[in-house]
Each structure stands twice: as C-alpha cells, then as structure tokens.
Structure 1
Amino acid sequence: MDLDQLDDGPLPLPPLAGRPQDAAAVLHLPWGTRLRGAVMAYLPVLLMALLAAASWWLVKRTPVPVAPEPAGPATHTPDYEMRGFSVQHYTQAGPARGVIEGDVVRHYPDTDSLEIEGVRLHWTDAQGRVLQARAARAVAINATGVVTLEGGAHVSRAADQPGDAPVEFTGERMSFDTRAGRVSSREPVTLRQGAHVFTAAAMTYDHDSRLAELSGGVHGHLQPAQGTPGPR
C-alpha cells in the first residue's frame, strides 16, 4: 500500500452542538423572556401551593356538624287553634254517627288532646236514637275517645215514643265515652224527664241500652201526670 495515497486531510465530523449560554448571555435576554422562563420552571410548585391553600380555605369554611340537643319535655302549649270548627265521626257503614262542634278548639301535642270552648255534641246510636250534649268547654283525649264536658254540662236524650218526654242530665262535669256510648259523672248530677226529677252524687248512663244508674244519696221527686211515664 502506497503511503503517499493516504488522505491526511481533516476527517469529516458532524458539527458539534452549541454550548449552553453562560450567565452573562442570559442576563442579556429580554426581561419578558426571563420572566416566562422562571414561571415555567416554578409552575408545578406554584400549582401545588395553590391547591394546598385552597384545601386549607375549604377546611376553614366547612361548618362543623353540631350534635343534636336532646329534646326537652313537651310543654302544655297548643300547636294550632281553630275557630268555628266541626268534626264528624263516621261508622263503617258510612253515615256519620257523631258530630262535635265548638266555638274555639286548641290542640295540645304533649297530651294529644283537644280543648274546646262552647262545645256541642250530637251522637246517634245504631238504632238512630239521638243524644245531644253541650257545655262551656270540653277536653277530648284522642287516645281514649273520651270527651269531658265541663262548666254547666247538659246532656239530653230524645224521647223513645211519641208522647214521652226527653231525658236530661245536668251537672258541672260529665264524661262521654264516644267508643262505648256511655255518659258518666262522679260529681252531683240531676236527671229530669218531664215533671220527674232525681238528684244523685254519681251517675252512669248507657246510651245503647237506654239505662241510667244513679248512686250516692239519690233523691227523687215523681209528679204523676197523665201520659207522662216515669224515667225509663
């Protein structure tokens, strides 16, 4: 091999990559370019800081759940009041068996009761016989179906036969059991039927059987009159 034929010229090499700019060159860059570079370099850190700040703000703003306070004892305070009301009680057959009316009624949730002013009651038994009652006020207990008449209570039963006088009960306080159809009183009561008058310390009257039982110092006054039988 002839050494003279060797190519001693420079070897063809690829161009070298340029060197990074030094600090002096960076300083000569425009201010906006340097700011964008710094923002891009610190963008992940800024985003993490913003997320942490937002989480802290949400925690601070989130209301702390308050434990419910134990309910105090119910007070005898009405939760509603109505004026000029009427309540009807229907039987399974359909027609109304009883009607309770009043000037003012108030409902008390602690006892689930109704207090009625100027109460009027109209009750009919299975045979269609009518019992009426009125009083200055009354208390009706929903759970028991008992209506307690107070203040000049007056209960009257329609006559059974033509020519008979109606039977009337008067007293300061009486109770009417709407489920059993029974009127009772543990306080002095007066029974009247036409001219016949009886007084007693207590009374029980069953509207379905039409029987009245008087007890406790019973006194009676019978007035014979043609066509007016004694109390039944």
Structure 2
Amino acid sequence: MRDRLASAVSIILLVSLVAGTWWAADYAQRAVTTDPPRRLTHEIDSYVEDFVMVRSDPEGLPSTRMEGKRLVHYPDDDSSEVTQLRAVNQRADRPTTVVSSNFARMDEDGARIDMRGNVDFQRMAAQGRDALTIRSEQMTLRPDEDLAFTDQPATILNGRSRIQGRGMRYNNVTRELSIAQRTQVEITPGKSPAPRQP
C-alpha cells in the first residue's frame, strides 16, 4: 500500500511539473512580443561615399572598375543608385571603354547600368581603329556583354566623322555601331596624299 501511495504521489508531482512548465512556457511566449518579419521597402539600407568597385574575370584579372561620389543601396529590389559614376571596362581581347555620367542606377547584380545626365562613352583607339566617343543624356550599359545602347538622341564622334541620331547600339565585342535614325552626318576626309613628282 505504501509503494502505491509513493508511486501515485510521484506521478501527481510529475504531472504537476509538466503542466507548470507548459503553462510557464505559454505565458512567456504570450508576454514577450516578437518582432514582426522585416518588411522590405524602397528605403536606403546602406550607403558609401567616394567608392571604388572592381570586378574580376574568371581568371581573376580585373575587367570592370566602377567609381563614384556616392552609392546608396535599396534592399527591396537589390538596386543601387550612384552619383558621378565612372566605369572602365578593360579586357585583353577588346578595346578599353570609359563611361561617365552624372547619375546611374545599377541592378541585376551589376549586370545592367542605366546612366543619365551628361553620359560620355569613350572607346579608346586600338588595333588601327580611331577612338569612338558617344554622348547622350541617357544610356544603358551591359558590362558583362560589353554593350551600350540608348533610344535617346546621341552624338557619335568616330575619328574625324560626326553623326547625330536618335537611338544607338554599340557592341564592343564585334565593334558594330548601329544608329536607328540619323539626323545629321559629317564625314571629314582624311588628308589626301601629296601628288608624287614624276
């Protein structure tokens, strides 16, 4: 009889302990307010001033260098806005390009850059080709594909030739430049060779 009484008291104490623990855990969970899940809004979550970013190719060599006055990052769409952006794209198998603008927006993990305000695109002279300069108020870059394009008016200077048009696409890999609508073309011939004396 004594053994049964001790067992019953032990079971009652154990049940009371489990019930008390469950109640305390439930009370603590209700008493402490948990933070709601973070809302992603289009608000700046980080910024940096006077920055330089370098991207490397698969061999580890620097291929793209971007620098600017100020960069701000937005977490909702993982985009960045840059003031006074200057981007240099250099690879061994193609001419170096340098692009600058007053403002730029980078998204798609840096694979797309929308530049606006005094956009100046320069392809350096290389492999017997003259330097190429393109100026516009808006231009989109695809650094990985080495593409630049715009649907806005653009002025193109290629050596001594000048073209003004609306809509332009330049592929630095194939060196192809296409213009949607030409409005003015000025081609200045190079110096003709002096006549030979008989």
TM range (shorter): 0.7 to 0.9
Give the aligned residue type for 2:89.
W
1:136–1:152: 8 Å Cα contact kept in structure 2? yes
Q: C-alpha separation between the residues in 2 aligned to 1:111 and 1:221? A: 43
> Gapped runs of 5+ residues in structure 1?
1-54, 228-232
Larger Rg over CA atoms: 1
Aligned to 2:114: 148
Matches within 5 A, 1:19-58: none
**Residue 83 of structure 1 pairs with residue 88 of structure 2:** no
1:169 CA displacement: 0.3
In the superposition, relative to structure 1, how do residues 143 and 95 fare at CA in structure 2: closer, same or farther (>3 Å)?
closer
Aligned to 1:206: 171
1:97–1:123: 8 Å Cα contact kept in structure 2? yes
**Structure of greater relative contact order (alpha carbons < 8 Å, 6+ residues apart):** 2
Identity over aligned pairs, percent:
18
**Residue 98 of structure 1 pairs with residue 29 of structure 2:** no
Aligned to 1:181: 146
1:225 CA displacement: 2.2
Could you give the per-residue CA deviations for residues 131-158 of structure 1, whole angstroms, max 9, x where no partner exists? 0000001111034611111100000001
Paired residues, what number?
173
Q: Find the residue that maps to 1:224 and give its secondary structure.
A: coil
Could you give the per-residue CA deviations for residues 163-198 of structure 1, whole angstroms, max 9, x where no partner exists? x53100000000110121100001111100233110
Matches within 5 A, 1:6-17: none
Give the aligned residue type for 2:42.
H
Q: C-alpha separation between the residues in 2 aligned to 1:124 and 1:137? A: 22
Q: Find the residue that maps to 2:44 and give its secondary structure.
A: coil
**Residue 112 of structure 1 pairs with residue 85 of structure 2:** no
1:125–1:208: 8 Å Cα contact kept in structure 2? no
Q: CA RMSD in A?
A: 2.7
TM-score by length of 2: 0.77
Aligned to 1:197: 162
**Residue 139 of structure 1 pairs with residue 105 of structure 2:** yes
Aligned to 2:196: none
Aligned to 2:14: none
Give the aligned residue type for 1:192.
L
> Gapped runs of 5+ residues in structure 2?
1-19, 193-198
Q: C-alpha separation between the residues in 1 aligned to 2:112 and 2:55? A: 13
1:90–1:96: 8 Å Cα contact kept in structure 2? yes
Q: C-alpha separation between the residues in 1 aligned to 2:76 and 2:29? A: 34
1:203–1:212: 8 Å Cα contact kept in structure 2? yes
Q: C-alpha separation between the residues in 1 aligned to 2:44 and 2:54? A: 22
Structure whose residues are more often strand by fraction? 2
